């Protein structure tokens, strides 16, 4: 009887399991190479591929290998923050005089990078409704070099049809970049849908403990190598070895945490739909989300961040939020803790009929405790 042919481990096994490492005395965690310089055995035979940690580090490289496998890319490169990853990915594509098509609900940091940094160099940006392929197509100009996407968006949770958007851009020689932070590399794989580059804020789900900043860009080896030589090494926004070690720690439990978060947020959002003071729950995992069918096609699960539109004033919303027990007030998401943020009035709000947008992140607490806490909104019914 022939032994089963050895095959590569599946992605979740790859991030959780390491072979015995005799180089490091069998250490079960990847060692932290906390050094800047790597010396050579001789002038002609260095004995390894590392020179200086700004140009590559063994601990950081191990993280990059694993994030590439999870995302389904050939190669990944990590950065000191999600914003560093976003800006480097964009800079690897555009030059002075180019035009960018970007969705109108893009992350505010990305928008500020376009408006306050790239505008200095004559790069123009058109912001369009990302839910419409027609709108994306109509905005393209002869000098358009980048289509920048974020699916879903992080306040109203609108999706873009990534496969169709990539097809549109590819036919015109335009590069596509997608911010895939919300779905995580567990639940959405834009590269498989034809997208060129994927960016992540590793600070969120991959780190998972709200104690470390980092970002990553994933794509083909050709694109990532090009980005690495110029927009990574020369700008210097590199990840430290210690940070990479913390990210590797978080990655070990990423699939388990995402499963728990996805199940919990489903319970919480379904409960929020039952409150009469909530006019809308913005979450693609709900059957009544206008793009739920698309979400089911291009995602296999859901992130923990959502928003609600509540028929109260901003002042009333703040008073409610201030008295929540299990939701801390904060900007981020993807950690172990539940968070809430009063965003402000929605475009449909009027003095006579106020509507306030509130964003919530479901953490690892028991969802029944979170539901009881959120139930205090019933006072406004």
Average pLDDT of 333-344?
A: 97
Q: How far is CA 151 from CA 7, 172, 204, 228, 368, in A?
A: 33, 21, 16, 25, 29
Residue 370 has pLDDT above 80, yes or no: yes
Residue whose C-alpha is closest to residue 301's, from 184, 180, 181: 184
Residue 5 has pLDDT above 70, yes or no: no
Comparing 11-252 with 254-380, is the CATH topology the same?
A: no
User: Could you read off the pLDDT of 162-213 as tens digits, one per residue?
Assistant: 999 999 999 999 999 999 999 999 999 999 999 999 999 999 999 999 999 9
Residue 80 has pLDDT above 50, yes or no: yes
DSSP secondary structure letters along 294-307 = HHHHH-SS--SEEE
- Name residue, tokens 């590797």: 248
131: left (phi over 0), alpha (psi -120 to 50) or beta: alpha
The confidence score (pLDDT) of residue 340 equals 98
The confidence score (pLDDT) of residue 175 equals 98
The confidence score (pLDDT) of residue 3 equals 47
User: Could you read off the pLDDT of 67-77 as tens digits, one per residue?
Assistant: 999 999 999 99
User: Could you read off the pLDDT of 119-159 as tens digits, one per residue?
Assistant: 999 999 999 999 999 999 999 999 999 999 999 999 999 99
Confidence of residue 227 (pLDDT cuts 50, 70, 90): confident
Residue 376 has pLDDT above 70, yes or no: yes
User: Could you read off the pLDDT of 35-65 as tens digits, one per residue?
Assistant: 888 777 888 777 677 877 787 898 999 999 9
Which tokens is 302 given? Answer: 């859901």
User: Do 335 and 212 touch, CB atoms closer than 8 A?
Assistant: no
- Name residue, tokens 């389904």: 72
User: Do 116 and 248 touch, CB atoms closer than 8 A?
Assistant: no
User: Do 224 and 56 touch, CB atoms closer than 8 A?
Assistant: no
Confidence of residue 341 (pLDDT cuts 50, 70, 90): very high
The confidence score (pLDDT) of residue 6 equals 63
Write the DSSP symbol of residue 373. H
Residue 40 CA to residue 147 CA, distance in Å, equals 43
Give me the phi and psi of 198, to 5 degrees please. -115, 135
The whole-model pTM stands at 0.93
The confidence score (pLDDT) of residue 1 equals 40
Residue whose C-alpha is closest to residue 67's, from 231, 218, 260: 218
The confidence score (pLDDT) of residue 4 equals 52
Residue whose C-alpha is closest to residue 177's, from 195, 165, 159, 201: 195
Identify the sign of the CA torsion 317, 323, 324, 330: positive
Q: For domain 11-252, give the fold.
A: 3.40.640
Residue 144 CA to residue 133 CA, distance in Å, equals 16
Residue whose C-alpha is closest to residue 332's, from 147, 117, 182, 222: 182
Residue 44 CA to residue 55 CA, distance in Å, equals 19
Residue 368 has pLDDT above 50, yes or no: yes
Confidence of residue 275 (pLDDT cuts 50, 70, 90): very high
Average pLDDT of 295-319?
A: 97
- When mean pLDDT is compared across 23-27, 91-95, 262-266, 336-340, the lowest value belongs to 23-27
Residue 256 CA to residue 217 CA, distance in Å, equals 23
Q: How far is CA 373 from CA 3, 37, 165, 210, 276, in A?
A: 55, 52, 40, 22, 16
Q: What average pLDDT does the chain have?
A: 93
Residue 339 CA to residue 363 CA, distance in Å, equals 8
Average pLDDT of 281-307?
A: 97
- Which contacts of 287-294 are long-range, i.e. CB under 8 A and separated by 24 or more positions? 289/157, 291/131, 291/158, 291/159, 294/159, 294/161
In the chain, what are the domain boundaries? 11-252, 254-380
User: Do 216 and 67 touch, CB atoms closer than 8 A?
Assistant: yes
DSSP secondary structure letters along 302-366 = --SEEEEEESS-HHHHHHHHHT-SS-EE-S--SSSS-EEEEEEE-TT--SSS--EEEEEE--SS-
Which residues, at least 6 apart from 275, have a Cβ–Cβ distance to it below 8 Å? Answer: 377, 378, 381
User: Do 223 and 201 touch, CB atoms closer than 8 A?
Assistant: no
Residue 359 CA to residue 242 CA, distance in Å, equals 32
Q: For domain 254-380, give the fold.
A: 3.90.1150
Residue 232 has pLDDT above 80, yes or no: no
């Amino acid at each position: 009887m022939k032994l089963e042919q050895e095959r590569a481990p599946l992605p979740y096994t790859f991030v959780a399991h390491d072979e015995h490492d005799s180089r490091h005395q069998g250490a079960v965690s990847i060692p932290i190479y906390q050094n800047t310089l790597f010396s050579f055995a001789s002038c002609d035979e260095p004995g390894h591929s590392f020179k200086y940690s700004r140009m590559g580090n063994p601990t950081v490289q191990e993280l990059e290998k694993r994030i590439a496998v999870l995302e389904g890319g050939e190669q990944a490169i990590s950065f000191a923050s999600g914003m560093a990853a976003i800006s480097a990915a964009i800079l690897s594509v555009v030059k002075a005089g180019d035009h960018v098509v970007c969705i109108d609900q893009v992350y505010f940091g990305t928008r500020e990078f376009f408006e306050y940094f790239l505008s200095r160099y004559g790069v123009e940006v058109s912001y369009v409704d990302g839910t419409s392929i027609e709108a994306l197509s109509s905005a393209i100009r002869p000098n358009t070099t980048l289509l920048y996407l974020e699916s879903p968006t992080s306040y109203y949770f609108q999706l873009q049809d990534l496969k169709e958007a990539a097809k549109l851009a590819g036919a015109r020689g335009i590069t596509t970049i997608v911010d895939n932070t919300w779905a995580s590399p567990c639940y959405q794989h834009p590269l498989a849908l034809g997208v060129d580059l994927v960016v992540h804020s590793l600070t969120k789900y991959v780190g998972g403990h709200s104690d470390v900043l980092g970002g990553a860009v994933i794509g083909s080896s050709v694109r990532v190598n090009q980005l690495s030589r110029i927009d990574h090494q020369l700008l210097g926004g590199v990840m430290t070895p210690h940070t990479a070690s913390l990210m590797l720690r978080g990655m070990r439990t990423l699939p388990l945490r995402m499963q728990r978060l996805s199940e919990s947020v489903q319970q919480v959002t379904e409960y929020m739909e039952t409150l009469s003071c909530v006019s809308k729950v913005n979450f693609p995992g709900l059957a009544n989300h206008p793009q739920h069918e698309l979400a089911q096609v291009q995602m296999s699960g859901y992130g923990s961040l959502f928003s609600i539109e509540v028929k109260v004033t901003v002042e009333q919303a703040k008073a409610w939020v201030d008295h929540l027990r299990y939701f801390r007030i904060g900007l981020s998401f993807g950690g172990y803790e539940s968070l809430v943020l009063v965003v402000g009035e929605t475009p449909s709000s009027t003095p006579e009929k106020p509507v306030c947008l509130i964003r919530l992140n479901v953490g690892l607490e028991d969802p029944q405790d979170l539901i009881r806490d959120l139930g205090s909104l019933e006072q406004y019914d």
